[in-house]
Structure 1
Amino acid sequence: MTAPTTKKMTAVPNLPPLEPRARFADLFAAEWIKLWSLRSTPWAFAATVVAVLATTIAGAVGDSQNYTTYDAPHQEYFRMFGAVGDSFSSGAATMLILGVGAIGAITVLGEYTSGMIRTTFTAVPARRSVMAAKVAVVTVATTVFGVALVLVSYGVTQAILSGDHASAGLGHHGVIRMLVASSVLAPVSALVGMGLAAVIRHSVLTIVVTIALFFILPSLLDSQKHLTVSILHMTILQAWGRIGFEQSTTARFPWTVTGACLVLAIWGLVSLVLAIFTSNHRDQ
């Protein structure tokens, strides 16, 4: 009679525990660190501040010097409208779009051009979650930045104009509208920069396309024809002007503030979708 055989037991190796999936808060924190670890980020924010404030201060100083030469009707007109416009002029809005749009593009191009995006996606395969966190970080940072910069610009310019009693307080007609419109301009421009960078993924070409789309194309459109004016109304700078100052360079073909708000919302939403959902197509 043979003895029963026993199966040989093999030792199970001690496997490391599976790491939990990264939470969105963790991804947000990681992207926040990435944003401020880029050497170009603080410089880009600082350059934008200098460019915007230099533009608004120069305009306020010039108008303050000219104010005493105006007759009574012109002084009244300036107090009603000009003082609000000096707080954040179209030139300042242009500087803000360029500066913050570049910051948005940098957050995407910084990883794609260096190849670090492959490391990021290897560590966190959920690409859309990574890009969504990147979008959230840029939106929060540029929104806070935009609000702070607009308030500083408003405070400095009104302090300059107050010497001639030509300043516009917060209760003045159109001031709050201007402050809100100019503040929103910052995150929208940053999202557009991110969306273009995510699609193009080339630094110089992204800059060229941004300038052409925001500034060169609108300057080529005829403001006296309905078709070209309709295209002009779909640009960010025109929408900002319509919301913030209830005016437009295309007065012959009026449009609503609601329509201008919708234009900015569409620009931001489309750019957000491009930044998040194009990450699955290629790594460079």
Structure 2
Amino acid sequence: MTTLDLPAASVAEPRARFRDLVASEWLKLWSLRSTGWSLLLGALAVVGFNFGTAWDHYRYWLQYDAGSRAEFVANDMALWDAFTYNASMVLILCSAAMGAVAVVGEYGSGLIRTTFTAVPARSALMAAKVLVVAVVQGLFGAVVAGGSFWSTQAMLSTRGIGLPIGHPGALRIVVASALLAPVCALAGMALGALLRRSALSIVGTVILLLLLPAVLSDRRHLSAVLAHATPLHAWQRLADAGPPAQELFPWSPGGAWLVYALWALGAAAVTVLAVRHRDQ
């Protein structure tokens, strides 16, 4: 008997399409029970902070003197209630933490090994994850920013001091507040991809996005430049609806929008590239 050497047919497995990766990451994100609860509780906290501030102005409006009322209306202070500083810090913390967990959650459970085995194209996989998180956080930001504006101005309108969305500066506040969520979520993803530990990543986001901007002042040029380069200060510049403040180192809303864009693009690039040449 002679054995015939026949060439074995090789079956090439089709390469995963990017839309399939996006669908997979979408299902993976929403399969976590914590995702829905985190978004719901975060939205309630953010809207609650803004509504509470507007409620104080509504409740004590009749107790203000004529000068205080005139100043409130002249300076468009109703827009300050549309999205407050405290609400922005809560939004930053919620969005950045969710972005970090979206990456480090797979490392903590060991699922990342299975994921990279099934999809060797790590950069494409992380790009799909970045896109999904950015879309979810963009919708989350739009809901909380729009809900905060509508609820606060509706209540203040009963006193005749609420402002419409078409008022100068109103739409910019809503858009800037909505986009703050995906920008910070992408920053959290970048730290998660670099640190790969849940606790370290969340602490890192707090230091980078909240504590560092708080210690940077506008009194010196270098400190002012560093402060203006943070998302929190960029949001403050875009959300400033009152008369122009006297600043030692003023900057334009265009510069603040540029900070948003650079943080989002830079964080996305770090997230995608951080997994290319590192072990699982």
TM over 0.5: yes
* Aligned residues of 2:186 and 2:264 also touching (Cα < 8 A): yes
Match of 1:4 in 2: none
Residue 15 to residue 73, structure 1, CA distance change in 2 (3 Å)? farther
**2:248 and 2:189 mapped to 1: Cα distance?**
34
Residue 263 of structure 1 aligns with which residue?
259
1:232 aligns with 2:250: no
Matched residue, 2:124: 129
Q: CA deviation at 1:94?
A: 0.9
After TM superposition, give the deviation of residue 204 of structure 1 in Å. Answer: 1.0
Match of 2:24 in 1: 30
CA displacement 1:179-206 (0-9 Å, x = unmatched): 1111111110110010111011111111
User: What is the alpha-carbon distance in structure 1 between the residues aligned to residue 34 and residue 10 of structure 2?
Assistant: 39
Alignment of 1:54-203 (within 5 A): 54-79=48-73, 80-203=75-198
- Indicate the larger mover: 231-240 or 14-23: 14-23
Q: Looking at CA atoms only, which structure, 1 or 2, has the larger radius of gyration?
A: 1
**How far apart, in 2, do the equivalents of 1:33 and 1:85 lie?**
38
* Contact 1:246–1:257 (CA under 8 A) maintained in structure 2: no
How far 1:34 sits from its partner (Å)?
0.6
Residue by residue over 1:242-281, the C-alpha shift from the partner in whole angstroms, topping out at 9 and shown as x without a partner, is: 1222579882221111111111111111110110000123
Q: Which moved more, 1:90-99 or 1:242-251?
A: 242-251
Q: Describe the shift of the 1:234–1:240 C-alpha distance in structure 2 as closer, same or farther (beyond 3 A).
A: same
- Decide whether aligned partners of structure 1 residues 201 and 171 sit closer, same or farther in structure 2, where only a CA change above 3 A counts: same
Aligned partner of 1:41 in structure 2 is 35
Structure 1 pair 77–172 and aligned structure 2 pair: CA distance change class (3 A)? farther
Letter in 2 for 1:240: W
In the comparison of the two structures, how many residue pairs are matched? 278
Higher mean Cα deviation, 262-271 or 218-227?
218-227
TM-score (norm 2): 0.92
* Equivalent AA in structure 2 for residue 54 of structure 1: G
Q: Which amino acid aligns with 2:32?
A: L
Deviates more, 1:247-256 or 1:174-183: 247-256
Distance 1:112 1:133 in 2: 17
Amino acid at match of 1:213: L
The answer to whether residue 240 in structure 2 is matched with residue 251 in structure 1 is no
Which ranges of structure 2 fall in alignment gaps of 5 or more residues? none
Aligned identity (percent) is 43
Matched, 1:21 2:12: no
Match of 1:281 in 2: 277
| Paired amino acid for 1:272 | A
Whether the 8 Å CA contact 1:229–1:250 is kept in 2: the answer is: no
TM-superposed CA distance for 1:9, in Å, is 7.1
Does the CA contact (< 8 Å) of 2:76 and 2:241 recur in 1? no
For residue 165 of structure 1, give the secondary structure of its aligned residue in structure 2.
coil
What is the letter of the counterpart of residue 138 of structure 1? V
1:16 CA drift (Å): 7.7
Q: State the Cα deviation string for residues 153-198 of structure 1 (Å, max 9, x = none).
A: 1111112111211101112121111111111111101100101110
Q: Which runs of 5+ in 1 are unaligned?
A: 1-6
**Structure 1 contact 223–249 (Cα < 8 Å) conserved:** no
Corresponding residue SS for 1:170: coil
Residue 239 of structure 2 aligns to a residue whose secondary structure is: helix
1:15 to partner: Cα distance: 5.5
